[in-house]
Chain A
Amino acid sequence: MAGLQPYVDHRVLLILQDGRAIVGTMAGYDQKSNVVLSDSKERVYSIEEGVEEIPLGLYLVKGDQIVLIGELDEATDKAVDLSTIRAEPLPPIRY
């Protein structure tokens, strides 16, 4: 396994197969790369308005739904005013 250990207790961004983007603190994972996030929020992107954050709290994401796990640089992330960001939502994965 390329390893998720370095991400534990760090703020991460998950991109899912359906195009959703979820941020949270990685509380744990298992060998099937199922991931538990604490204090998580979905970031909903749209062209019409800024990014909306929907609180999800403690959240379990199934490993096979995960496209990508990124470590967030917290200083950079906090410096971004999400209400000014306008973008299309990421497209879903198409096989």
Chain B
Amino acid sequence: MLIFSVFKTLTDQRVTVELKNDLSITGTLKSVDQFLNIRLDNIKVLDEARHPHMMAVKNCFIRGSVVRYVQLPAEHVDTQLLEDATRREAAAQNKR
């Protein structure tokens, strides 16, 4: 839930999603769901010469399970807030 919330705060920011087939796609984060499926707008594939497959694709839906990394805009991530929220969630888990 924590990570889902983080992604929601990054809506409309530019992110780069790296998939488990080594494709890297940069785009504007339009929406995310509980499975961390991601919708990107105005996409650009890294190394388009090698990967021309998505030339005519403007926006896309990416299945959460095929994501390896997402590069986030550091200036929009409050690391102190993240650490506090992570500790809170860990404490709540332990009580259960």
Contacts and interface: CB of A to CB of B under 8 A. Distances in A.
Interface of A: 1-4, 7, 13, 15, 17, 19, 21, 33, 43, 45, 66-74, 76-77, 80, 85, 87-88, 90-95
Nearest to B36: A2
Interface in B35-87: 37-39, 43, 50-63, 66
Contacts, number: 87
Interface residues of B, number: 27
A13 B58 contact: no
A15 B59 CA distance: 13
A45 B53 CA distance: 8
Contact of B19 (A21, A68, A73, A74): A68
A69 B53 contact: no
